[in-house]
Chains A and B, each alone.
Chain A
């Protein structure tokens, strides 16, 4: 407590300097100044309240400020070290005061250092939590992005599947496909699996369920993009697609779907000239 009030101006200035330097100007000095001065005030209040534990009530304001700071750093793409430095740089700023300080100062410093170490860990926890949130929201965005439903023709829609089909993604695909059937009033849907690296029993089961659900809505599904290695694997596994129409290419599937919906494709006598 004493330690922080004796030389307040020099210590805060050095602290702010240290942090700004490590952030290499990617956050303005004025911003760092504001953040750290607010933190400093909260820290002094906490120490004044006599709390020894960084997770205790006295430091709840400090923790709130640090959590906010860590979240911002995580969102702005700083590293965990660049986040924790906001706390740790204060320890360095305090060291000069120790050199000509008393034994009491040293004891006070050690006590404060322990609290600061705990607070630094706390910033890393808050940082990690934010990163995890970012990653999981990106994952679900990717899931949405990677399953577009496209309208190929009046009454014909298609979903090209790319990558690994886990349960969560299949759920998204299925919902989007069924919704698109309703929205477009289509009666033909094509599920293209050219981009799916392996079809195992789980993927097959998901596909079968989707087809059954579409049927319940009065729509027919064709599965296309079955490459030779996938076809052979499906046969060896023993998966039966029953009466579900499967085609090698999306073009074949479209032709089939069009015929089913009563559209005739004719080749012109003059060859299109």
Chain B
């Protein structure tokens, strides 16, 4: 998935190596979600999805980074965030995307819930290589 970053504003990178970075990722994504004119509900959904993915990157991916910024396609504006780690990867993506399935002590709703909260969701993962999740939400 190549992300159609808006040409005038390069995406920003946020390392995710500790708990505070999850909060920072959320704040950064909030700024972009506001900039591209998402409604309050859409903003909250996107920020919450980012929060889930940032925590998964930290907890299961063993840390990584988020790249986030404005996107543009056919004159439409939106916000995107890409979460990447070089952790263990996800062996069974269908299972991981099943509501309520968790390998840890979570609710098992982060990944599947994040998918429902955004317009576009790409999961790219390979065992022992890592996981990249890309999410996009378009302004109406």
Restricting to B108-133, which residues have a CB under 8 Å from any CB of A? 109-110, 112-114, 116-117
Q: Interface of B with A (CB < 8 Å)?
A: 19, 23, 26, 40-41, 43-45, 47-48, 51-52, 55, 99, 106-107, 109-110, 112-114, 116-117
Restricting to A190-228, which residues have a CB under 8 Å from any CB of B? 197-202, 204-205, 228
Known: A200-B51, A233-B117, A236-B116. A205 touches B107 (CB 8 A): yes
| Of listed A202, A205, A230, A236, residue having the most chain B CB within 10 A | A236
Whether A236 and B45, one on each chain, are in contact in the complex, defined by CB atoms closer than 8 angstroms, is yes
Instruction: Name B's interface SS.
Output: helix
Whether A166 and B23, one on each chain, are in contact in the complex, defined by CB atoms closer than 8 angstroms, is yes
Kindly state the interface size class of chain A when it binds its partner.
20 to 34
Q: What is the minimal beta-carbon distance from A234 to any residue of chain B, in angstroms?
A: 9
Whether A232 and B45, one on each chain, are in contact in the complex, defined by CB atoms closer than 8 angstroms, is yes
Restricting to A27-50, which residues have a CB under 8 Å from any CB of B? none
Whether A239 and B19, one on each chain, are in contact in the complex, defined by CB atoms closer than 8 angstroms, is no
Q: What is the minimal beta-carbon distance from B68 to any residue of chain A, in angstroms?
A: 15
Does A229 count as interface, using CB distance less than 8 angstroms? Answer: yes
Whether B113 and A199, one on each chain, are in contact in the complex, defined by CB atoms closer than 8 angstroms, is no
Whether A237 and B44, one on each chain, are in contact in the complex, defined by CB atoms closer than 8 angstroms, is no
Q: What CA separation (Å) do A167 and B45 show in the bound complex?
A: 21
Does A164 count as interface, using CB distance less than 8 angstroms? Answer: yes
B99 proximity list for chain A (CB < 8 A): 238
Known: A166-B23, A233-B117. A201 touches B109 (CB 8 A): yes
> What mask results when residues 167 to 180 of chain A are scored 1 for a CB within 8 Å of chain B, else 0?
10000000000000
Whether B51 and A238, one on each chain, are in contact in the complex, defined by CB atoms closer than 8 angstroms, is no
Whether A238 and B47, one on each chain, are in contact in the complex, defined by CB atoms closer than 8 angstroms, is no
Q: Which residue of chain A has its CB nearest to the CB of B113?
A: A237
Q: Which residue of chain A has its CB nearest to the CB of B30?
A: A197
Whether A201 and B45, one on each chain, are in contact in the complex, defined by CB atoms closer than 8 angstroms, is no
